[in-house]
Every structure is written in C-alpha cells, then in structure tokens.
Amino acid sequence: MKSALVFPGQGSQAVGMGKELAKEFPVAKEVFDRVDATLSQNLSELMFEGPETELTLTTNAQPALMAASMAALKVLESEQGFNAHRQAAYVAGHSLGEYSALCAADSLTLEDTARLLRLRGEAMQKAVPVGEGAMAAILGLELGVVVKIATQAASDLYLTGAICQVANDNGAGQVVISGTTAAVERAMELAKLAGAKRALRLPVSAPFHCALMQPAQEAMEEALKGVTILPPKPPLVSNVEAKAVADPEAIRSGLVAQVTATVRWRESVAYMSAHGVMRFIELGAGKVLTGLIKRIAEGVTAISVGSPADIAAFSASAKP
C-alpha cells in the first residue's frame, strides 16, 4: 500500500505531547535532548509539563511540534522497522509541518530544522503588533467564494493597508482567512451573509500566511541562505505548489514563499491521493490532519501516531 507521511502545524500542540514516548523509548528522548541542546532551552520540559500559555507561544510551539513529530517517526523506525525512504511515496506538512516533513526526508538536519523554526516563530510573532491582525475559520463555503469575500472585505473598508487573504485551504468546506483585524471581521460578516455555517475568530497571536507576514518572509529568506538543503527522500509535496518538489533550490524558494502564501492542504492531499497514496500517517501531536484527510480523499486510510498506544495500533494495522 502506497503511503505518505504528514506532519501537523500550529494549533495541534498540547501539554504532555511526546512525554510518554520519551519515557518509554530512548530514541524519542534523544530527539528531545538534541532539540533542547540546539535551542539552549529545556523545551521538552515545557512540552511535557507546561504551562500551556508558554507552549502556545509561536516561538515555542513551532520547534516543539517538530520535535514531537520527529520523536514519533524515530520510534516508528526503531520499533516497527518503518523506513521513510523505502515505504513512503511522499512527505508533506501543514505550514510549519513542512519543515518537519523535510527533516523526516533527510533534507534538513534536526538541528537546522529546530533553529529555523525558532527563528520563524520569532519572526512571525514580531511581524505584526498584537491586536492589529486576526485569523478566522470560515466553515461551509467553497474556496472560490471565500476568496471573493476576502477581497471584498478588504476593499469595503476603504482603509489604506486593509488586508484579507485566504491563509489555509484545509478542505471539507474549511477555509481560514487572515489579515488586518477590521478586514477579517468584515469578511466574517460577509461569509455569514453568504451562507457560511460558521465564521469563527481563531485564538492566534498573529495573522499568519498573509501579506502582513512580509517582514517574517524576509527574515526566513535570509536565514535559509546559509542552510544546506538536500533532495528529500521521499519527495516533498509543497504547501505553495501542491505538487511534488525535490529540487533543493525550489524547496528553499517554497519555504520563503509559504510565509505569506496560502497553505494549499486540500490540493496537496488530492495530489497524493491521485498519485496512488492510500495510507496517510500523521506523525506527532494531535489528529487534525487525519480528520481533514478523511474528508478530502475518499477511500483512503488515515492514522495518527503520537503515543506508545498509537505505535501499538500501527503495528496491529500493518499486519496482513
């Protein structure tokens, strides 16, 4: 069965993630120890014990989620003999999860991935003063409708610098918008008028994946210049392109562009499904992507692996 490895983005973090893996499996603890050493921070203690308010900070959540994903992968490899190079057709990740995917495919080292995500989190947090930007989930409307609503919302305000864009196309009628606070609130009103089931402000600290993130994009462009990127094995399905990418320079450009671009998750999953993937394995914290995938691609299997119990369940599911 053709498989793909997928990696979650911000919002999937939770206090306690990775704790049981670290307790039970030395290979998982080694991942957390290496990330702690690289960042000169006891990030693993924050992951395992909290407080949640600190873990949720973008600068902590991004490398923490990556560490949890890589720990789960290492356990899958050591306990189940899983080999990403041989047994996965693609890797993909949602926003910051793209960095986890590249690490899993040996395109980036664990240490470079941790440093890049710490810088990315800091840059994204600093890009927009608190309160000036917002994000919202629009449920029950198609992507094209939400794109038009976002454009109208920004123009309705007649304000210089008003911005509203689609940040995530998550599939199954779930589209996330991002931009200046007033424009996002206006878009929520328009979405309800257009028949959206719900329009919800998201509890985030910055408006990700929109033009307001330009300062963060510039910071990542500079940071990525000095990082070695190898061809991923297996290839990456890019957030920006929604297709397989293996060329290191194309990957570098995509990592820069994705800071302000839409995360094309629905199209990415559809691409992998169309190319024969029948099993999606979500590695790390939460089950957000597993739920989305099941609603995007009919007939596929989607499982999450983030705990010792999940490892045992994976073993059972892999038996003929």
Q: Is 141 within 8 Å of 115 (Cβ atoms)?
A: no
Which residue in the list 95, 107, 238, 268 is annotated as catalytic? Answer: 95
Q: Is 38 within 8 Å of 114 (Cβ atoms)?
A: yes
Per the annotation, the verdict on 209 as an active-site residue is yes
Type of residue found at 81: G
306 burial level (CB within 10 Å; 0-12, 13-18, 19+): buried
Rg (CA), the chain: 19
Specify whether the backbone of 72 is left (phi greater than 0), alpha (psi in -120 to 50) or beta: alpha
For residue 51, cis peptide bond before it (omega within 30 degrees of 0): yes
Report the C-alpha gap between 12 and 16 in whole angstroms.
Answer: 12
Q: What is the DSSP string of 145-201?
A: HHHHHHHHHHHHTT-TT--EEEEEEEETTEEEEEEEHHHHHHHHHHHHHTT-SEEEE
The full length of the chain comes to 320
Phi and psi at residue 107, to the nearest 5°: -85, -35
Least Cα distance to 176 among 199, 153, 203, 145 occurs for 199
Which residue in the list 69, 100, 107, 209 is annotated as catalytic? Answer: 209
Question: 164-171 and 174-180: which strand pairing?
Answer: antiparallel
Per the annotation, the verdict on 268 as an active-site residue is no
Within its chain, how far is the Cα of 313 from the centroid? Answer: 24
Q: What is the DSSP letter of 13?
A: -
User: Which residues are catalytically annotated?
Assistant: 95, 209
